[in-house]
Amino acid sequence: MATTSKEKHMYPLLDLHCDTLYALKEDPLAGDLLANTLHVDVERMEQAGAITSCFAIFVDWEESPSPWKGACALHDLFLSSLEMYGDRIRQVRTSAEILNNTTAGALLTCEEGEILEGDLSRLEVLQSWGVRMASLLWNHENSLGYPHTMPSMPLKPLGIEAISEMERLGIVVDVSHLSDAGFRSVLEHARKPFAASHSNSRECTPVSRNLTDEMLRALGEVGGVSGLTLCPSFLTSEKRASSISDMVRHAKHMLNVGGSSILAIGTDFDGIGGELAIEDISGMERLWDALGKAGFSQSEREGMWQKNALRVFSA
Ligand SMILES: [Zn+2]
């Protein structure tokens, strides 16, 4: 089968996090899933090569009377978008579907466990929608646990219960945004590999959203992944725009500490502001090239681009 030069050049990418659904809902004038003024759309996914994006169902529940209804509304938006452009983007639910898909791919995830409103049986509904990864919380304390700004607070009992229920249903536990003690709770109770879908190295940039070396080591030991995020303030604390070399520096450190199987990509496109070194999904090839020039092997980059995350989804 003939492939374009683009496809040959950059390995297929599985991006573990974007907030495009929420951004489209918040700003209908931005366009739709096919073409918009945001960071991710089908046209630019196609330009970039073979891309599967994890589209997060995100609700800022302190501003939403019913987080569950908010989640249902975003799911409706997802379904109607895919129905409209089904020949260009397809929902994928399994590793095999990701690998065999010939269009742009859309994997559903969740960011904010309060979507459940404390009712773990809703995880079965999320699973039936095709949700394959979910973060326990965002930046607010919720019924499952505490955010990164409250580092000493462990998971609540319902959060611990949620872990085994998610594992039973094949939903990967996502620890991005979680408190440090919450991370240790997951480490203690998880029986399967878990993910930090969009978090960098705290040793490189000391913000609580990034992972300490101890966390990276632990995550590597259980076969988990951390998705390198392009959020400028998680890439550099200096008063300048972040750069691709900041991304390479974080990736190198994460690999050195957690091992090559820990690396993934979790851009956080459409959830981040500021001056971006890579402005949208069509520019990811520049990072692929920069990593190659910095000495990352082909297999390390393939692991980071897709294979490591697929291993976690398949576990
Ligand atoms: Zn986030």
Q: What percent of the chain has pLDDT over 90?
A: 92
Q: What are 256-294's pLDDT values in tens digits? A: 999 999 999 999 999 998 889 999 999 999 999 999 999
Cα 303 to ligand 1 centre (Å): 22
Q: What is the rounded average pLDDT of the residues 116-131? A: 98
Q: What is the rounded average pLDDT of the residues 218-229? A: 98
Q: What is the rounded average pLDDT of the residues 181-204? A: 98
Cα 198 to ligand 1 centre (Å): 7
The CB density around residue 158, as the number of other CB atoms within 10 Å, is 18
The CB density around residue 151, as the number of other CB atoms within 10 Å, is 15
Cα 246 to ligand 1 centre (Å): 19
- Which pLDDT score is estimated for 220? 98
Say if CB 127 and CB 170 are below 8 A apart. yes
Cα 272 to ligand 1 centre (Å): 9
pLDDT at residue 7 is higher than 50: no
Band of pLDDT at residue 1, cut at 50, 70 and 90:
very low
Cα 56 to ligand 1 centre (Å): 9
Cα 112 to ligand 1 centre (Å): 9
Query: 295 forms bridges with which residues in the sheet?
Result: none
Cα 19 to ligand 1 centre (Å): 8
Q: What percent of the chain has pLDDT over 70?
A: 97
Cα 286 to ligand 1 centre (Å): 23
Q: Please report where in the chains the tokens 């040959």 appear, as a residue.
A: 8
Cα 111 to ligand 1 centre (Å): 7
Cα 103 to ligand 1 centre (Å): 26
Full-model pTM? 0.95
Mean pLDDT, the chain, as a whole number?
A: 95
Cα 311 to ligand 1 centre (Å): 22
Cα separation of the two ends of the chain:
30
Q: What are 165-181's pLDDT values in tens digits? A: 999 999 999 999 999 99
Cα 268 to ligand 1 centre (Å): 7
pLDDT at residue 6 is higher than 70: no
Indicate the burial class of 275 (C-beta count within 10 angstroms; 0-12, 13-18, 19 or more). exposed
